[in-house]
Structure 1
């Protein structure tokens, strides 16, 4: 048996309807910024407590638009090191001064303590990232701190659509939230992203930036230095069908995690579960292996038995990336611990009970030998 890390799931009945809708789009000639993009935005708004939503081409472009709308050139921005480089590179491109933060060693997310430590008179914004679909446990504390200190709070919620903390959905905690609909995410539009905000003016400005800086779609007057960050109608229609199934997808992923918690018996590994009051969409099932166990060796042994664990979040934190070599000289012990000691167990909405049992059996057996 071979168990892959994840699997994109587009049900057969949805595929038939998606193809029909795509033919309608092709025949209409309106392939971008049409009614399906608006419907896609509306569905995201429904999930994020009626935020204003701007659909864009990717989660990366969403963050770059955010950096532009807040005019963060030459401004200091606190960003967690334990994140994908695409959280930080948009701010690098607009000329922000990046200060990387260390993380919580269990959840892998930014902490209030780090925000306070890094906060200077030059700090303008803080970025929080919800690693693996678990909302950063200190999110509400960081939100309050930012409000008290006139700092902009930006959520990179690329992993976390459908997650929540104390009933507050991911993407609604800061001034703005950003999402990704890349194929690995729990719902996908193939490629795509979104910006959420409760601020109407910010939303309107993001729409200008996404379409080459034009005031609107129907004229040729450019007021901002934007780019082609539009989402096509073809991507939007796939995203619509996926969003309609988000609750179904999260429910099944939750059952996968419950099986792992019930069947993994070894105390040498601990699954990262959300703190009380939080709900995860289980984009990733992260697990920490105890000190002294080589995560990489464990993955190799499991792979030899057909269990393919997913890519970590992340093996190379931002402060170790060559493009940021001149950004900071600080040390990040927790980020390096987390990156070295965690792995991501297989998870998908089509994972069978037999596959789950197989993964648990092989993992228990392998850990018993260590």
Structure 2
């Protein structure tokens, strides 16, 4: 049997709960900004130890709304070069200018040094991305740096549902955190996003922006340039049901990661992720770096064709300054980002992954490593 790159897990009781919720909302006609949205917001805030949560249409919308609330128009926003397109796109759509910073090779995240190197008097915000669900141990130092400069720290926590550092959850280290519920995420609502914040002002601005900039749900008085960023009630119900499984999913994913750690430890030149002391990752992705010179495409093809193991998509195969849409940044010097993006692979981690599947991946990676890197 093969091991797929990703698997979305809803058991029979989950499916029944979602079906009951949809029947209820179709009976009442409450299909947007109703009781399920409120339940999802309350549950997600509680799960992450946050005061306020605002459900929106996507993780990208969540980040853009936060940046609009800060008002980054005409100003710089620092983002890591190793992140998804949407991190920088949210800055552009909010009227800001992305400024690309290099990353720490051990955490795949910004560091105080890489951020300080690109700060200017025009910097409006810094966006910290938790790649693969790993929270950098430098998060407090980054927050302190931003506080000294009077710059908001915003978290792109699209990968980090349930991840924590020093007992504090992702999304609670900065002014606000933006989460995604795309189908492959650790918990999903089908499509959707969430903003976590301690700021009542950010909460209120987010509620206005998500509903076409209206001052009230029942009025046609538009006070912000918002958009149709609401989360539907069916999506909120799916998210609420799936969130109940988060702790269970995290334990399974962490067991898989520990098995990978042990099984791949002897492969020369293959660098597996290191979870820093105090960090508790959700292992949304298990990011490993191939030895220099190994052809990634050939490696992925060999484990798929020879062993039935599909490696999931990289995070990410191109740094932002190599993306065609950001061609104006192509001459940027970001050597760590370029090296990491060129060599990384992501091993399958499923929320219901079996030991047999995990061992199959270890055997496949080990065999192909011996052939291509030996």
Taking a change above 3 Å as real, the CA distance of residues 95 and 328 of structure 1, as seen in their structure-2 partners, is farther
Q: Give how far 1:3 is off.
A: 0.7
After TM superposition, the structure 1 = structure 2 runs for residues 140-179 of structure 1, keeping only pairs within 5 Å, are 140-179=140-179
After TM superposition, the structure 1 = structure 2 runs for residues 30-49 of structure 1, keeping only pairs within 5 Å, are 30-49=30-49
**Superposition CA RMSD, Å:** 1.2
Partner of 1:333: 335
Q: Distance in 2 between matches of 1:116 and 1:78?
A: 10
After TM superposition, the structure 1 = structure 2 runs for residues 302-317 of structure 1, keeping only pairs within 5 Å, are 302-304=303-305, 305-317=307-319
Partner of 1:279: 280
Partner of 1:89: 89
Mark the runs of 5 or more structure 1 residues left unpaired by the alignment.
none
Partner of 1:181: 181
Q: Deviations over 1:266-293 (max 9, x none)?
A: 2331221321111101100111122232
8 Å CA contact 1:285–1:345 kept in 2: the answer is yes
Partner of 1:368: 370
Worse overlay, 94-103 or 76-85? 94-103
Q: Distance in 2 between matches of 1:268 and 1:126?
A: 33
Partner of 1:232: 232
Q: Distance in 2 between matches of 1:123 and 1:50?
A: 26
Partner of 1:124: 124
Q: Distance in 1 between matches of 2:247 and 2:274?
A: 19
Q: Secondary structure at the match of 1:325?
A: helix
Q: Distance in 2 between matches of 1:327 and 1:255?
A: 40
Partner of 1:347: 349
Q: Give how far 1:296 is off.
A: 2.3
Q: Secondary structure at the match of 2:14?
A: helix
8 Å CA contact 1:268–1:367 kept in 2: the answer is no
Q: Give how far 1:224 is off.
A: 0.8
Q: Distance in 1 between matches of 2:298 and 2:203?
A: 47
Partner of 2:292: 291
Q: Distance in 1 between matches of 2:27 and 2:252?
A: 36
Q: Distance in 2 between matches of 1:295 and 1:347?
A: 19
Q: Secondary structure at the match of 1:124?
A: strand
Q: Give how far 1:328 is off.
A: 6.3
After TM superposition, the structure 1 = structure 2 runs for residues 3-18 of structure 1, keeping only pairs within 5 Å, are 3-18=3-18
1:109 aligns with 2:109: yes
Worse overlay, 122-131 or 293-302? 293-302
Q: Give how far 1:326 is off.
A: 2.0
Q: Distance in 2 between matches of 1:71 and 1:261?
A: 43
Q: Secondary structure at the match of 1:269?
A: coil
8 Å CA contact 1:128–1:136 kept in 2: the answer is no
8 Å CA contact 1:180–1:194 kept in 2: the answer is yes
Q: Distance in 2 between matches of 1:58 and 1:119?
A: 28
Mark the runs of 5 or more structure 2 residues left unpaired by the alignment.
none
Q: Secondary structure at the match of 1:270?
A: coil
4+ long deviations beyond 6 Å: none
8 Å CA contact 1:187–1:239 kept in 2: the answer is yes
Q: Distance in 1 between matches of 2:87 and 2:355?
A: 35
Q: Give how far 1:195 is off.
A: 0.7
Q: Give how far 1:143 is off.
A: 0.4
Q: Secondary structure at the match of 2:117?
A: helix
8 Å CA contact 1:77–1:125 kept in 2: the answer is yes
Q: Deviations over 1:303-326 (max 9, x none)?
A: 112111110000011111122122
After TM superposition, the structure 1 = structure 2 runs for residues 12-27 of structure 1, keeping only pairs within 5 Å, are 12-27=12-27
8 Å CA contact 2:74–2:96 kept in 1: the answer is yes
When normalised by structure 2's length, the TM-score is 0.96
Q: Give how far 1:81 is off.
A: 1.0
Q: Secondary structure at the match of 2:274?
A: coil
Partner of 1:61: 61
Q: How many residues align?
A: 370
8 Å CA contact 2:253–2:283 kept in 1: the answer is yes
Q: Secondary structure at the match of 2:362?
A: helix
Q: Deviations over 1:125-169 (max 9, x none)?
A: 101000000013322111000011101111000000101111111
Q: Secondary structure at the match of 1:105?
A: coil
